[in-house]
Amino acid sequence: MNLIDHLNWRYATKMFDPKRKVSKQDKELLKEAIRLSVSSYGLQLYKVLIIENNEVKAALRKASWDQSQITDASQLFVFCNYTLDYDRHVDDFVERIIAAQGSSSDGIKQYGESIKANIAKMSAEERKSWSEKQTYLALNNLLIACAELKIDACPMEGFNNQAYNSILGLDELGLNAAVIAPVGYRSALDKTQNRKKVRKTKEELFQTA
């Protein structure tokens, strides 16, 4: 199958088969796909929690309007944006560049300082919006990788993020649950898998200038 076939195959899974689990090997591939995601400046100002514990899932389901995907999926991926210590994250990023590329430390450190200055110019609300958007870029890599591996997923914003932050102890870590994605295998009872995919036509969606 090519990419378009994979994308036509996937859908936002409403019912998962709780008996089917994603293999350790496939889970590592999904993690690597997320790791290779693009992000602003390459900073990756997020952390991804992979929830497998059934008790934790049950608590999170209550904070997700009792949606069954939370507990029935093999794993629940919780994409969290960082909310504090941006300068430290930039410093860590600079050190990774130096270690990986052997670049001139002075030039790269100056680049890091320019990133810090740009972030400092943002209001608190702008920083919040900007950092949350980065998690959606990583989420997209997960969805595409899942489609290629014939693993089902459902991106979800329908949850109480403050409750997630409390249950998972995210506030004290300077993290915020931004978007989630249960991952696993569709149930044969999920009637939505048979619905024809609805999208705009190319003529409606694109305009060349």
**Chain centroid, CA 183 distance in Å:** 12
The answer to the question of residue 111 being in a domain is no
The candidate with the shortest Cα–Cα distance to 50, out of 86, 21, 13, 89, is 21
Rounded CA-CA distance 138/125 in Å is 21
- Number of structural domains (the chain) is 1
The candidate with the shortest Cα–Cα distance to 13, out of 199, 197, 196, 191, is 191
**pLDDT tens-digit profile, the chain (209 residues):** 699 999 999 999 999 999 999 999 999 999 999 999 999 999 999 999 999 999 999 999 999 999 999 999 999 999 999 999 999 999 999 999 999 988 677 888 999 999 999 999 999 999 999 999 999 999 999 999 999 999 999 999 999 999 999 999 999 999 999 999 999 999 999 999 999 999 999 999 999 99
Per the DSSP assignment, residues forming a β-bridge with 19 are none
Inter-residue contact 64 to 159 (CB < 8 Å): yes
Provide the whole-model pTM. 0.96
Rounded CA-CA distance 208/87 in Å is 40
The answer to the question of residue 103 being in a domain is no
The answer to the question of residue 56 being in a domain is yes
The answer to the question of residue 126 being in a domain is yes
The answer to the question of residue 61 being in a domain is yes
CATH number, residue 65:
3.40.109.10
Enclosing domain of residue 41: 3-91+122-205
